[in-house]
Structure 1
């Protein structure tokens, strides 16, 4: 996913953050370093609320 985004977003990923929703319904961040996957990071409760709100949930 990260490689695809880096290749297909104009200008690459740059400083953008990449989030996903896991099978438990929680949001996490896919960490990126120089356009490559660098690990996972859990989202805070505030981020959980904000991201869910952005999706109308």
Structure 2
């Protein structure tokens, strides 16, 4: 399952910078992950200071 970003997102951009496949972009008030591009590597979750990205 692809990762999703919860409402805990603080819009710091750490997850976007950490994503090796550029599946993350700025959405309305938080970052979002394109499920079609997500390879489920977990780099976004490792980079996030608040643990917002998680697998569905």
TM-score normalized by structure 2? 0.27
Larger radius of gyration: 1
Pick 1 or 2: higher relative contact order, CA cutoff 8 A, min separation 6. 2
TM-score normalised by length of structure 1: 0.27
Larger fraction in helix = 1
